[in-house]
Amino acid sequence: MNNATTLYDKLWNSHIVDEQEDGTCLVYIDRHLVHEVTSPQAFDGLRNERRNVRRPDLTLAVADHNVPTTDRDKKIDDEESKIQIDALEKNCADFGIELYSMKDIRQGICHVVGPEQGFTLPGTTLVCGDSHTATHGAFGSMSFGIGTSEVEHVLATQTLLLTKCRNMRVTVNGSLPNGITAKDLILAIIGKIGTAGGTGAAIEFAGEALKSLTMEGRMTVCNMTIEAGARVGLFAPDEKTFEYLKGRPKSPKGAAWEAAVEYWKTLKTDETAIFDEEIVMDVSEIKPQVTWGTSPEDVVAIDGCVPNPAQETDTNKRNKMERSLEYMGLAAGTPMTDIQINTAFIGSCTNSRIEDIRAAASVVEGRKVANGVQALVVPGSGLVKEIAEQEGLDKIFIDAGFEWREAGCSMCLAMNADKLGPGERAASTSNRNFEGRQGPGGRTHLVSPAMAAAAAVKGHLVDLDDLD
Amino acid sequence: MDKFNTLTSVAAPLPLINVDTDMIIPARFLKTIKRTGLGADLFSTLRFQEDGSEREDFVLNKPAFRNSEILIAGKNFGCGSSREHAPWALLDFGIKCVIAPSFADIFYNNSSKNGILLIKLPQEQIDKLMKDAELGANATMTVNLEAQEITGPDGDVIKFEVDAFKKHCLMNGLDDIGLTMEKSDKIAAFEASQKVKIT
Ligand code: SF4
């Protein structure tokens, strides 16, 4: 018998508290990130049943989804946002949970904050009431998004009832050429397997092109695993992982660090392990990507054109394409680089880390935002913002006509004041181009940070190769 | 949580694939700290014009389907964000059962935790039910969870599969947390045995 196991198997097996007859397992949760939108009903549930938080020490809270990204000294104009943020503060105080409040420099998008603080560690299970929790899988942590009932379940019991995912591996071979970013890789992968391609799966990312990514790049890839339908995305931890985590505020220290690294080195898929599904791609097939429609699988290379629904044989798909094109206000056959934009958004848990900001700044330097374009940079955390400012990147953006904002989710989901108006079109580094995601009637093209920056200065989508 | 046993209702046909949670309930309606009241904004963009008036052609606005408790939809229903506001909005509107060829994982879990029954069926059976549903007011269906059967308006019976534990919880209106708390000794033992300390 083949006893070889995958990385996901190892993480799963080491967290089982109890197994039911039907195979459902009670799984221990090592880390829980909490934010203001999906937690209030969970805390209410605890109060109603007179329950406590079992392990406040394993729980970390931060307000990110609807915090304003402009002047933090003013009060929040939106009454409902304020109620949610106040509720989070009260809940954390009542239940003894550490919270990075709006004025704390450590505040930011939960999926940026966790790794930055060393809260996210290899070999752990980590959950958050947000589907992009898969981000933390970049560290070899079994991380996934949960709903509010599950948030309540974790708060009360530090466990979850789960059924195991199937094992899937996505390998991208070949050495990563200049100009292809993590965002392009994951968009191309989603384009290939579709938004339901990973349903029920934990995806391990492998192959030279993916492994050669930095931790930031790996986070971008894992972040968007959910857009391929998978709950978990994983990279086996390696020297880059350890290097990134060493010395972070919540990382283990001294002898505990040494012991942890020894253990983390064992966290990899055995050579003879068998996956339920394998996808193999070669990086030479992949060009810089952009979305044309209203689903992250609607991708095309930047030098391509808006596809033609008439060429789609599947009726369901053709209908969906027609609907998307109508919503997006695009005609089949239009070259992608002819598409004019009103807004460029650089931010979100997909692309708001320091490396993303640097990539965008290097395109912007010495250029100006095109007339009539609103361009926004929203760093992923107060600390990312601080580093960028130390490097003078804020000046580059401001001089070019960008707005330089405070950390938060911002225009990724348009819960705060940052949103697209009806019919407005954005080049966005976020992760979802659903109808209305960035504001009712708003139109989203998902791209990498460098491409969003280039679109801002040109006023239309641009192939970076053509940037003079 | 309400117990789920049998449900007889007109079924509303929504023949769209990849219905995402932003469609079910857009993010701007998530600024609530309650579970109730979201039904008013269910499928907001599909249901209402920009001025707030109803779009006549949307299924849940048609007289025959306004009180549907069953929804029939295309594949990958519920994809996108983890917001439990999606099942809350469905439930608050009165939808207790969704039938589709496939569902997104998180949505699937969230729904059963709120007493909504999700039924996965092969595309051909969905196509048939979709046709039945389009008949409107005279075409009620009955979903029997215990027997795992759907009886169509013509008396045809379709069998469906459901996870045994989810079925048990749905039928008895059981709260997962209470069940898990009974295992707190095992949880404590696990914590004590964790080899690599994580705090
Ligand atoms: S940045 Fe966007 S995707 Fe990420 S956590 Fe915030 S809202 Fe969700």
The one-character DSSP state at A55 is -
Task: Tell me the per-residue pLDDT of B27-70, one tens digit each, with 9 for 90 and over.
Answer: 888 888 888 889 999 999 999 998 999 999 999 999 999 999 99
pTM over 0.80: yes
Which helix (H) or strand (E) element contains residue A210?
Answer: helix A208-211
ipTM of the complex: 0.89
- Give the pair of three-digit tokens for residue A299: 């991708």
Task: Tell me the per-residue pLDDT of B61-97, one tens digit each, with 9 for 90 and over.
Answer: 999 999 999 999 999 999 988 889 999 999 999 999 9
Residues contacting A427, CB < 8 A, separation 6+: A341, A343, A344, A345, A445, A447, A451, A452, A455, A456, A461
In a domain, B19, yes or no: yes
Contact call for B50 and A295, based on CB within 8 A: no
A395 C-alpha to center of ligand 1: Å? 26
In a domain, B134, yes or no: yes
Residue A188 to chain B, least CA–CA distance (Å): 18
In a domain, B1, yes or no: no
Residue B57: which of B47, B66, B45 has the closest Cα? B47
| Secondary structure class of B120 (helix, strand, coil) | strand
In a domain, B142, yes or no: yes
Taking contacts as CB-CB distances below 8 angstroms, the residues of chain B near A152 are 177
Q: Is A444 in the pocket of ligand 1 (CB under 6 A)?
A: no
pLDDT at position A391 over 90: yes
Q: How much is the pLDDT for A414?
A: 84
| First CA to last CA distance, chain B | 35
Provide the domain limits for residue B10: 6-194
| Residue B115: closest C-alpha in chain A | A149
pLDDT band at B112 (very low <50, low <70, confident <90, very high): confident
Which helix (H) or strand (E) element contains residue B6?
Answer: strand B6-14
In a domain, B12, yes or no: yes
pLDDT at position A81 over 60: yes
Residues contacting A207, CB < 8 A, separation 6+: A170, A171, A172, A173, A174, A280, A281
- Domain holding B95: CATH number? 3.20.19.10
Q: How much is the pLDDT for B199?
A: 52
Q: How many CB atoms lie within 10 A of CB A335?
A: 14
Q: How much is the pLDDT for B196?
A: 62
Mean pLDDT, residues A291-295: 97
The percent helix, strand, coil of chain A (3-state, each to 5) is 40, 20, 45
Considering only CA atoms, give the Rg of chain B.
19
Q: How far apart are CA A256 and CA A259, in angstroms?
A: 5
Q: What is the DSSP string of B32-60?
A: -SSSSSGGGGTTHHHHB-TTSPBPTTSGG
pLDDT at position A59 over 80: yes
Q: Is A225 in the pocket of ligand 1 (CB under 6 A)?
A: no
Count structural domains, chain B: 1
Residue A422: which of A328, A318, A296 has the closest Cα? A328
pLDDT at position A1 over 80: no
Residue-averaged pLDDT of chain A: 95
In a domain, B199, yes or no: no
Q: Is A346 in the pocket of ligand 1 (CB under 6 A)?
A: no
